[in-house]
Amino acid sequence: MPAPAERMRMMRERPRRRGLRELRLVVPDSRLQSAGDVWPAKSLLVRSCEDDALRWIEAVSEFDSPPSGQ
């Protein structure tokens, strides 16, 4: 069996061969009380942009729904 470092390298290589790239995100832990103070300050969406995004999601979800009566 390969060493742990070699297994990790092999695990990372598989997606790369398929043209994928690893992405890691670090976000505030929502389980912590102190995270509630961080979320509004770190918000990337302006209210008007958020409304536009929600309208777009609603439009797309209606497009993906099967026609009524089926």
Residue 26: predicted pLDDT:
83
Q: 5-30 pLDDT, tens per residue?
A: 999 899 889 999 999 988 888 877 77
Q: Is the pTM of this model over 0.75?
A: no
Compute CA distances 63 → 49, 52, 56, 58, whole Å.
21, 17, 11, 9
Q: What does the pLDDT look like over 42-56, one tens digit per residue?
A: 666 667 778 888 888
How confident is residue 1, by pLDDT bands cut at 50, 70 and 90?
confident
Query: 27 exposed, middle or buried (CB, 10 Å; 0-12, 13-18, 19+)?
Result: exposed
Work out the average pLDDT over 46-67. Answer: 76
